[in-house]
Amino acid sequence: MHDTNDYLSLFFEPIREYLEDDTVSEILINGAAQIYIERKGRLELTPQRFISEPALKAAAVNVAKSVGRLLNEENPRLDARLPDGSRVHAVIPPLARNGTVIAIRKFTKERLTIEQLITFGSITPEGARLIDTCVKLHRNMIVSGATSSGKTSVLNVLSAYIPDNERILVIEDSSELQLQQNHIVGFETRKPDKNGNGEVTIRDLIHSSLRLRPDRLVIGEIRGGEALDLLQALNTGHAGSMSTIHANNPHDCLFRIETCALLSGIDIPLSALRAQVASAIDVVVHTARLTDGSRKIVAISEVLGLKDGEYQLNDLYAFKIKGISPAGMITGNFAGCGKHPSFLEEAGLMGITLDPEIFEAG
C-alpha cells in the first residue's frame, strides 16, 4: 500500500519535511506564499513557499488525479482520503480569493490509548473509569466538540472498552477509526462519480447495517440527515452505540443532533424529535482544544430525558479551569459535579466498581 509520501511528497516538494515529520499533525496552505503547520496543538508559520500559484494549483490537481478525482473550474473543491487515511481538502480560485487553499490532516499511525490520555492530562483515571462503565453498561454515547478538538481520537479510546466478543459495525465517511476487536465490519461512504451517479451515504450504510445483526454501531461522525436514522436505530435496541458530532458543549450537542435530523427531509414534529433524541442518547463526552493547545475531555454528562420539553442533563465529571500560568499554560483540575449517575446501582449489580466519591464537587 502506498503511503502519504508517495502521493504528496511527489507533488508538494516545499512541504516534504513536514509530511515526513511525525510531530506535525496538520499542514495548512493558504496560497503559494503562506504555509502553516500544527505541532502539539499549536499553529506555526513556516518559512516554506511554493514558487507560484500555478505550481501550487498543479500540485493539488495532481493529487486529485492520483485518487481518481477531478479538481477544475467545474469541480473547484476536493475532499479526498489517501490510502493511508490522511485527509486532503482543497479549494481553488476563484472560490479561494488568496490562491489555492489546501489542508492536509495527517493520519496517525499510532493508536491513542486511554493510558496515553491520562499521561497527557486529557482525563484522569477516575474519568476513564466512568467512561469504561458507560461503555460496559451499553450506554449510547456521543463525543462532541469543536473542529480539531480530538473527537475521533476519543471515539477510538471509547471503542477500545467494547468487549471483544461483540459484533461491531463501523460506518465512516473516510476510514479513521482504528478498532482492535476481532469482530469488526467496516463500511465507508462513496462519493458520486463525475456524472453524479453511484453515491452511497452514511444513511444508506446505516440502513444496511441494521440488517447485518450489529451488537453495536460506531458512526464516525454525524453531519446531516443520517442523525434521524441513527436515532431510530438507537431507539430500537442497538444499545451501546457511539458517534461524534460538532458542538460547543453537551447541551448544544443534543440541539445539533436535532438540527441534523431535521435535514433528513422527513417531516417530524419538533416535540417528537426531541423525545427521540432524549431517549436515544444516554451520555455526552465533550472534548475541547484549550487556548494553550492542549486537548482534554472537559465534560462527561448523562442525558436524563425531557422536562417541560427541554433536555435535562446531569453533569457528572468535568475539567475546571483555575487560571493561566506565566508560560501561557491552562491550569485546572478534573472533579465531580456533585451528582451521582442514575446508573450507579446498575453498575454495582453488574460487578463494576464505581466509587461514588469521584462525583463529589471539587
DSSP structure string for 308-348: TTEEEEEEEEEEEEEEE-TTS-EEEEEEE-S---TTHHHHH
Lateral strand order in the sheet of 310-324 = 184-188, 168-172, 216-219, 242-246, 141-145, 283-289, 295-307, 310-324, 330-336
φ and ψ of 19, to 5 deg:
-65, -30
Helix 226-234 vs helix 202-209: angle between axes, to the nearest 10 degrees?
20
Output DSSP code: residue 263.
Answer: T
- Alpha helix (H) residue ranges in the chain: 4-8, 16-19, 53-66, 114-120, 125-136, 151-159, 202-209, 226-234, 250-262, 270-280, 344-349
Q: Could you tell me the CA-to-CA distances from 237 to 9, 112, 151, 223 in Å, in that order?
A: 47, 30, 25, 23
Q: What is the pLDDT of residue 58?
A: 94
Instruction: List the domain boundaries for the chain.
Output: 4-105, 114-359
Q: What does the buried/exposed string (b/e) look like for 248-285 if buried means 16 or more CB atoms within 10 Å of the residue's CB?
A: ebbbebbebbbebbbebeeeeeeeebbebbbebbbbbb
Residues of the chain with pLDDT under 70: 1-9, 109-110, 362
Q: State how far the Cα of 53 lies from the Cα of 59, in Å rounded to an integer.
A: 10
Name the grid cell of 130.
466512568
Distance CA 104, CA 14 (A): 14
Closest CA to 157 of 187, 137, 182, 127: 127
Find, among 258, 349, 249, 345, the residue nearest to 301 by Cα. Answer: 249
SS3 217: strand
Grid coordinates given for 23: 510531530
What would the DSSP string read from start to end of 55-98?
HHHHHHHHHHHHTT---SSSS-EEEEE-TTS-EEEEE-TTTSTT
Other Cβ atoms closer than 10 A to 353: 8
Ramachandran region, residue 206 (left: φ > 0; alpha: ψ -120 to 50; beta: rest): alpha
Cβ-proximal residues to 78 (8 Å cutoff; 6+ apart), any chain: 60, 63, 64, 69, 71, 88, 89, 90, 91
88 phi and psi, to 5 degrees? -125, 130
Per CATH, domain 114-359 is 1.10.760.10: no
pLDDT at 310: 96
CA distance 29 to 63: 14
The SS3 of residue 302 is: strand
Alpha-carbon 308 to chain mean position: 31
**What's the mean per-residue pLDDT of the chain?**
90
pLDDT at position 191, please? Answer: 79
- 33: which 3 cell numbers? 506564499
| Cα Rg of the chain, angstroms | 22
HSE, CB side, 13 Å, CA atoms: give it for residue 271.
3
pLDDT reported for residue 106 = 85
DSSP count for the chain of H helices, then E strands: 11, 15
What's the maximum distance between 2 C-alpha atoms anywhere in the chain? 66
- In CATH, 4-105 is 3.30.450.90: yes
pLDDT computed for residue 285 by the predictor: 98
Sorted by sequence, the CB contacts under 8 Å of residue 216 that are 6+ apart come out as: 138, 162, 166, 167, 168, 169, 238, 240, 241, 242
